[in-house]
Each structure stands twice: as C-alpha cells, then as structure tokens.
Amino acid sequence: MNFEDTPIGGVIIVTPEPLADERGFFARIWCSKEFSARGMPADMVQASISHNLNAGTIRGMHFSWPPSKEFKLVRCERGRIYDVVVDLRPDSPTFARHFAIELTDEGRVALLIPPGVAHGFQTLSANSDVLYMMTDYYRAELADGVRFDDPAFNVRWPRPVTTIVERDRTYRDFDALDHRRKFERALAAA
C-alpha cells in the first residue's frame, strides 16, 4: 500500500498496490502492521456499507465529539463519489478548511479520516457503495454534523443535489467560536 498525506493533517490517501495476472489482480487494502508502522490506527472495530441509489445523493458532513477516537477508512466499492473532509479540530492549523477527492471502484483508493474531522460525500453515479472501517464504536450521543453547503467551508459540490436527508440539510450555520467552546468542554469531560 502507498500512503500519501493531504493538506489536512492526519487525512491520508491509501492506495493499494495490485498484483495483476491473467486472473485479474490481488491487492491488500488493510494491514494493521503497515498502518501501525506509520503511526496510524491499527485496530478496526466496526465496518459499515452505505448503498446509494441515486447520483447526486449527499451524505454528511458527519463527525463525532470527544471522547470518540474514531478514525474512518473510507473506500468506494462500487461507482464513483466526491469525498469531502472538513477539519473541525480547533487546534489544527487547517481548522475549518476542507479537502476533496474523487473515489472510484476502479481506482480503489481509500481515505483515512482522523477524529475531529467531518466527512461526507456526493455520489457521482447511481448505485454507489461506500465501505467504512472504523476504529471506535458508534455512539449516537457523540454523533453530530455540519451542513454540507455551509458557507464557512465553501465546499463546491460537483453535481446538483438529488437526494439528502433532512438532518444533513438542516444543520445550523457553523459558528467557529461556539464549536471551539463545545469541543473544549467535550475534551475536558472525556
């Protein structure tokens, strides 16, 4: 596997190295030894799949408050998605900045997303499947999000939105000062 840093600290592009022959190819997409050797999380405890019927569907932008230590490894298993992360870690030099990448079933690239970074995507093809591997168990009381079109982040989605749930469409406007305070309180309580 190849590991490539992005402009958002801790967000890593993970690219498999396929071994091809007349049958097709074989590629490792996860190895705790390789991840831990690079100082990245090595223990995944949950995996989920997101099936998306329509092109233009948006899911996100989701994150978890401390004490969650959830890293996500996200890969598009079928179709194409425009994957976006927003840095919501108040002490980060890239706080409130975003990074986007197209993930496809052909490229097989994955994105490693650290705790405190919001994640979302827009499907670029119908019937897209997205695989998530997580290092922490989901806790509904820590789950939150920011609006996909919040002007604070200036994300330019590539397609018109065709499908989005009310929760993702109606998060309130992002307030950086309020977020910093809530983050600090959550850390202190952890």
Residues catalogued as catalytic: 62, 132
Positive or negative, the CA dihedral 158, 163, 165, 169 is positive
Q: Which two tokens stand for residue 39?
A: 């100082």
What is the distance between the alpha carbons of residues 69 and 157, in angstroms, rounded to a whole number? 28
Residue with tokens 């425009």: 82
Residue among 135, 127, 137 nearest 30 (CA): 135
- Helices (DSSP H) in the chain: which residue ranges? 32-37, 166-169, 176-189
User: Do 100 and 113 meet the contact criterion of CB atoms below 8 Å apart?
Assistant: no
What is the distance between the alpha carbons of residues 100 and 121, in angstroms, rounded to a whole number? 9
